[in-house]
Amino acid sequence: MFRLSFTAVAGVAGLTALALLSVGWGATPIPVADLLAAFARALGLAENTAATPVDRIVIDLRTPRVLLAILVGGGLGMVGCLLQTVTRNDLADPFLFGLSSGAAAGAVFVITVTGDRLGIWTLPLAAFCGGMLAALIVLALVRRMGFQGPEKLVLAGLAVSFLFTAVTNYMVFAGDQRAAHSVLFWSLGGLGLARWENLPLVLFGFSALLVFAVARHRHLDALLGGELTANSLGVNADRFRLQVFLAAAFSTAIFVSVTGVIGFVGLMVPHIARALVGPLHRASLVLSALFGALLLLASDLVSRVLLAPQELPIGIVTASIGASFIVVLLLQRRLA
């Protein structure tokens, strides 16, 4: 309990410091005094409340971006923790089951074919529909097979992922080549769509996932002992696994609809959380969310300053970290 409390306090402190650094540091560095003055004016605590160009950068651009990184990173961390438990696969993450590929196909369809006919919500709505369509196809395949264990869920997800990836590549090749850069940037992930208007949607996805995970953490603990143990404790393992997949698919579709495809966050942070507080989910879920937020926020900061004034797709940063993490994980298991 002490380890959890200490780690959580240290993580929240680090997240707060990193959030302030991310708001102040970028292609246009903002001194701490100007940063605090902008927040004071936004909250109505300053004598002169007239907005300045610095206020636009701090309040309208960087602060929503920081909040989006925290919510999406925390959500992906929890999704990874849930999926690794119910599939008994340490390499499971939100993008192993075709969710990201379906969302990418929806977004690319809008970029290359239809255009923004519904305004700024066109791309997020299309990506969300694509992600949920992929999830429904996976569930239909699993139901058709009579659900013969978690490995069938993984295989169905991989098949759907390859299918939607092929569809996406076809649309990119056959569509408007002028949109290829937008497609590439979106498929590699980024937080450039962060706005105060779409934060409530992401907050809803994060909150729904958090409530589900906290309410069912004992069911998740029961699955750690295997399906027979879970069934003996009154948990229908097959039904609960599908419920977890639906909750993960719904939240992931929301996240991907705003940020694009950001991989490896959900794969890495559950391992770090379990190494610190053990496998029980009340603690590991909290730390997975916290470490996911830290990782995505730090990755976004790197993506903004590494090639400034250009912005590097955040998926490149997380993929680089994730590849190194998997290599270290495999070497540790070999030595063990």
Domain segments of the chain as ranges: 2-329
Distance (Å, whole) CA 298 – CA 5: 22
Residue 11: phi, psi to the nearest 5? Answer: -65, -40
pLDDT at 146: 64
149 burial type by CB count under 10 A (0-12 exposed, 13-18 middle, 19+ buried): middle
- pLDDT tens-digit map of 33-63: 888 888 888 877 766 766 778 888 888 889 9
**What is the widest separation between alpha-carbon atoms in the chain?**
67
Q: pTM score, two decimals?
A: 0.89
pLDDT of residue 336 exceeding 60, the answer is no
Q: Enumerate residues 6+ apart whose C-beta is below 8 A from 298.
A: 18
- pLDDT tens-digit map of 182-218: 677 677 888 888 899 889 999 999 999 999 999 999 9
CATH 1.10.3470.10 fits 2-329, yes or no: yes
- pLDDT tens-digit map of 140-188: 887 777 655 667 777 888 888 888 888 888 887 776 666 666 677 677 8
